[in-house]
């Protein structure tokens, strides 16, 4: 049951993220949007850890990992928020939707990972068909969008 709940949670979070990025940057700018999102996420995790009585190690090496990981996430999300100023949320959703497929293909090419199973290939094809179905007729692309790809 926990695996199903986590799976559904991931789907809900990732399917609403592009629109949330667009909405959170309105008025306050992209830097406010990404900073607020990171702070809210930190507060939610803090409360969740208190609720389930879980604690993180606070050793010097663990703190270094937390800081480096947080900086990496913040930096990458800042670039996404910045690019979202110039492209519609649907295009961000397409990029997010394609990233697991590209990761799988690149790991196969670069790291000589084992071949994809028939089920994995079917999953990738379903994902591609879904993205094409939803966004195939979208042509909401203007000259400002080039900034997001540079």
Q: In this predicted structure, what is the pLDDT of residue 145?
A: 58
Q: How far is CA 133 from CA 51, 58, 63, 97, in A?
A: 41, 47, 44, 13
Distance set, CA 144 to CA 62, 75, 137, 148, 150 (Å): 42, 22, 20, 8, 11
What residues contact 131, with CB distance under 8 A and at least 6 apart?
94, 97, 98
Phi, psi of 48 (to 5 degrees): -65, -45
Segment 82-115, tens digit of pLDDT: 988 888 877 787 887 788 888 888 888 888 878 7
* pLDDT one-digit tens code per residue, 98-107: 888 888 888 8
* pTM as predicted: 0.68
pLDDT (0 to 100) of residue 58: 92
What phi-psi label fits residue 141: left (phi over 0), alpha (psi between -120 and 50 degrees) or beta?
Answer: beta
Q: What is the dihedral of CA 116, 119, 124, 125, to 10 degrees?
A: 120
Average pLDDT over every residue of 27-34? 87
Answer for the pair 25, 81: CB distance below 8 angstroms, yes or no.
yes
Instruction: Report the pLDDT value the prediction gives residue 92, as an integer from 0 to 100.
Output: 81
Mean pLDDT of the chain, nearest integer: 83
22: its two tokens: 């667009």
């Amino acid at each position: 049951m926990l695996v199903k709940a986590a799976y559904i949670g991931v789907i809900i979070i990732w399917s609403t993220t592009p629109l949330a990025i667009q909405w959170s940057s309105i008025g306050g700018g992209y830097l406010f949007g990404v900073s607020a999102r990171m702070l809210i996420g930190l507060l939610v995790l803090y409360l969740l850890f208190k609720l389930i009585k879980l604690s993180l190690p606070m050793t010097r090496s663990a703190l270094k990992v937390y800081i480096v990981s947080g900086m990496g996430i913040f930096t990458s999300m800042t670039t996404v928020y910045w690019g979202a100023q110039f492209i519609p949320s649907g295009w961000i959703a397409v990029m997010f939707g394609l990233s697991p497929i590209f990761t799988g293909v690149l790991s196969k090419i670069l790291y000589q990972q084992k071949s994809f199973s028939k089920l994995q290939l079917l999953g990738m094809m379903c994902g591609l068909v879904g993205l094409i179905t939803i966004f195939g007729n979208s042509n909401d692309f203007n000259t400002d969008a080039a900034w997001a790809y540079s």
